Amino acid sequence: MSAASVRVSTPLIQSEGRGPIPTAALQSIMVNPIPFVAAKAILEKYHYLHSMPGGTKLAFGVFLGDRLYGAITFGSGPANVYRMVEGANPSDCLTLSRLWLSDELPSNSESRVLGIALRALKRFTQIRFLVSYADPAQGHIGTIYQATGWVYTGLSEAMPMFDIGDGKPRHSRSLSHTYGSHSVKHFESCGVKVRVVPQSRKHRYFYFLDTDFQGKLKVLPQAYPKKEAI
């Protein structure tokens, strides 16, 4: 599976979808496959995590005209999350790992971009469902997932990240993809001091591209979290 095989920006995919007809500004947004290096450059510069996750399998750019205004990536994610769906295999699932859009884009652009991507993945891949996370430590509750009909399943387990001395916290899977190992002992034997970076639990959402799998979710859906009144 490659981004090039998912023709997200075709007029047919762009025009599909339910709800009100998008404004002219939203209709002008195009979502195209882009090289991983291009997605990495924009995400490392602008996304709050300043990183491109290891295990990325699909990367798309968000365009107005010829200018790149954002990126969305899908990848492996947590190793065992697929087990939360009865009968699922690792290949049935991807994680929406990064989504960043410029503030210069019009209102509702996130919903528009995500909707195009979801319809394309459903049509052109064999992926059955997606998982994504929202970090409450950053004030995120997953508003975009709520707006696009994802299923909320509560808070995930807290998974630590690791800093190998360059100031960039990485998940263990990212370390494995980049360096071939996520063993702390391996890095320390090579003279690399690893610092464990504790993480908070995150809001976890599922989106079922194959609705037959939705009834196989092993945990009960929960009410969407709301922002606390200030």
Q: What is the pLDDT of residues 127-175, one digit of tens each?
A: 999 999 999 988 999 999 999 999 999 998 776 667 776 767 666 666 6
Q: Provide the pLDDT for residue 141.
A: 96
Which of 103, 102, 22, 33 lies closest to 74, judged by CA?
33
Tell me the per-residue pLDDT of 4-26, one tens digit each, with 9 for 90 and over.
Answer: 566 555 554 555 654 555 678 88
Strands 195-197 and 161-163 turn out to be antiparallel
pLDDT at residue 99 tops 50:
yes
Measured in degrees and rounded to the nearest 5, phi and psi for residue 13 equal -65, -40
Q: Is 41 helix (H, G, I), strand (E, B) or coil?
A: helix
Asked if 31 and 113 count as a contact pair (C-beta separation under 8 A), the reply is yes
Average pLDDT, whole number, for the chain?
84
* Distinct helix (H) and strand (E) counts, the chain: 7, 9
pLDDT bin (cut points 50, 70, 90) of residue 230 is very low
> 109: pLDDT confidence band, cut at 50, 70 and 90?
very high
**Which comes out higher in pLDDT, residue 184 or 202?**
202
